[in-house]
Homo-oligomer: A and B are copies of this chain.
């Protein structure tokens, strides 16, 4: 398999899904929809929606069946970035190498664009899968649980609280990574598997793979923040150390952090093997996520 070509093909399908399943920038009110599109089109890695499509392909979903689910996941991820960048949160000026939404528009518009992308994710799932209502309800429940107060948002909150306390523990940090980062990566594989009609054991194997991939991803993020430069990352580097933030690197050191990330990647590969089928692409993606430079 030619991994870069296959990744490119999946990213192109994600773009098609977003184009089809998100209102155009001209929809009324235009400023709101322009801000939604601006943030969606900032050109991230599309990692999560690619995982939705790859899991759906693995589980035998018909072509294009998972495009709405992939678009919903990217809408949800983009909302979380917009809100995370706001002045009252991380107060970031740069995201993916471009001005953040509240810099390009204004704070109120960014707030509402985030709210609208979050809401749209659920509208899209309920509408696009209306002819398979049990699937629609399952997809909404999985995504809402992953994004909810016990997981994604809970992880964000715990992250904010940890920044203010010098004595955050390894257990605190694991809670943050598990929920702030891994929840949505788990959900991405699970949503794809559900669209593909996978049996429970296979769905759960993919959930486990997603959890370890997510944990590895966040540890690599901490490592990159400590070692890369802003131009390469497309966002402000060295922020964690500057803020004296509790990270894997601060708690465990660089070498151990790399080792723990590699261990999570290995466990993700085992779970993918347990899921069965042709996991060539997902295994290559796991390696690419572990070895990434940005």
Interface residues of A (CB under 8 A from B): 23, 27-29, 31-33, 36, 83, 86, 88-89, 106-109, 111-112, 114-116, 118-120, 122-123, 125-127, 129-130, 133-134, 136-138, 140-141, 144-145, 147-150, 153-154, 156-158, 160-161, 175
- Do residues A149 and B23 form an inter-chain contact, with CB atoms below 8 A? yes
- Do residues A31 and B137 form an inter-chain contact, with CB atoms below 8 A? no
Cα separation A86 to B114 with both chains bound (whole Å): 14
Within the complex, what minimum Cβ distance (angstroms) separates A134 from chain B? Answer: 4
Chain B residues closer than 8 Å to A138, beta-carbon distance: 126, 133
User: CB < 8 Å: which of B28, B36, B141, B175 contacts A130?
Assistant: B141
Cα separation A86 to B88 with both chains bound (whole Å): 10
- Do residues B149 and A140 form an inter-chain contact, with CB atoms below 8 A? no
Chain B residues closer than 8 Å to A175, beta-carbon distance: 28
The 8 closest A-B pairs by CB, nearest first: A123-B144, A88-B107, A126-B141, A116-B149, A126-B140, A136-B137, A133-B134, A32-B157
- Given the interface contacts A116-B149, A144-B126, A149-B36, does A29 sit within 8 Å of B158 by beta carbon? yes
- Do residues B123 and A141 form an inter-chain contact, with CB atoms below 8 A? yes
Q: Which residue of B has the minimal Cβ distance to A142? A: B126
- Given the interface contacts A88-B111, A140-B126, A140-B136, does A148 sit within 8 Å of B120 by beta carbon? yes
- Do residues B126 and A133 form an inter-chain contact, with CB atoms below 8 A? no
Some 27 contacts from A to B, beta carbons below 8 A apart, are: A23-B149, A32-B154, A83-B112, A83-B115, A88-B107, A88-B111, A111-B111, A112-B153, A112-B160, A115-B118, A115-B153, A116-B148, A116-B149, A118-B118, A118-B119, A119-B144, A119-B153, A122-B122, A122-B140, A122-B144, A123-B148, A126-B137, A126-B140, A126-B141, A127-B141, A133-B137, A137-B137
Chain B residues closer than 8 Å to A36, beta-carbon distance: 149
Can you name 8 extra interface pairs (CB under 8 A) apart from A112-B153, A126-B140, A130-B141?
A112-B160, A115-B153, A126-B141, A130-B137, A133-B134, A136-B137, A137-B137, A140-B140
Chain B residues closer than 8 Å to A123, beta-carbon distance: 140-141, 144-145, 148
Chain B residues closer than 8 Å to A157, beta-carbon distance: 29, 31-32, 109, 112
Q: Which residue of B has the minimal Cβ distance to A147? A: B119
- Do residues B29 and A154 form an inter-chain contact, with CB atoms below 8 A? yes
Chain B residues closer than 8 Å to A154, beta-carbon distance: 28-29, 32, 116
Cα separation A118 to B116 with both chains bound (whole Å): 11
Cα separation A153 to B116 with both chains bound (whole Å): 7
Chain B residues closer than 8 Å to A136, beta-carbon distance: 133, 136-137, 140
User: CB < 8 Å: which of B27, B111, B137, B150 contacts A149?
Assistant: B27
Chain B residues closer than 8 Å to A89, beta-carbon distance: 108, 111
Chain B residues closer than 8 Å to A120, beta-carbon distance: 144, 148-149
Cα separation A144 to B139 with both chains bound (whole Å): 14
